[in-house]
């Protein structure tokens, strides 16, 4: 599986309409994995760094209240 670096992930999110998405998968021990859409697989530690970036906004769109499923770069 192709992994995206932190730098490339941040570039994609800043320069395009790319979103970080948390998806259910059987390929991960915890059943969840993060992907950039479009882009590809993002390692868990990179996904957490992206979520912590001050310019990233959570989508407030998870199945349950207070559980986000997508993140995007905010508009200046």
pTM recorded for the entire structure:
0.84
Domain count, the chain: 1
The answer to the question of residue 74 being in a domain is no
Give the tokens for residue 75. Answer: 């508009």
| Strand extents, DSSP E, 1-76 | 19-24, 32-37, 40-42, 56-58, 70-73
- Quick: pLDDT tens for 32-68: 899 999 989 999 999 999 999 999 999 887 777 777 8
The answer to the question of residue 76 being in a domain is no
Structure confidence at residue 1 (pLDDT): 61
The answer to the question of residue 31 being in a domain is yes
Tokens 């259910």 -> residue:
24
The answer to the question of residue 75 being in a domain is no
- Quick: pLDDT tens for 8-39: 999 999 888 899 999 888 877 778 899 999 98
The answer to the question of residue 43 being in a domain is yes
The span from the CA of 36 to the CA of 24, in Å, is 14
Identify the domain containing residue 42 by its residue range: 6-67
Structure confidence at residue 45 (pLDDT): 94
The answer to the question of residue 25 being in a domain is yes
The answer to the question of residue 16 being in a domain is yes
Tally the C-alpha atoms within 13 A of residue 34's C-alpha that lie toward its C-beta: 23
The answer to the question of residue 72 being in a domain is no
**Cα torsion angle, 35, 64, 55, 14, sign:** positive
């Amino acid at each position: 599986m192709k992994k995206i670096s932190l730098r490339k992930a941040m570039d994609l999110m800043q320069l395009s309409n790319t979103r970080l998405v948390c998806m259910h998968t059987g390929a991960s021990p915890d059943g969840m994995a993060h992907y950039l859409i479009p882009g590809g697989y993002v390692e868990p530690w990179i996904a957490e760094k992206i979520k912590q970036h001050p310019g990233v906004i959570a989508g407030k769109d998870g199945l349950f209240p207070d559980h986000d499923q997508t993140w995007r770069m905010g508009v200046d």
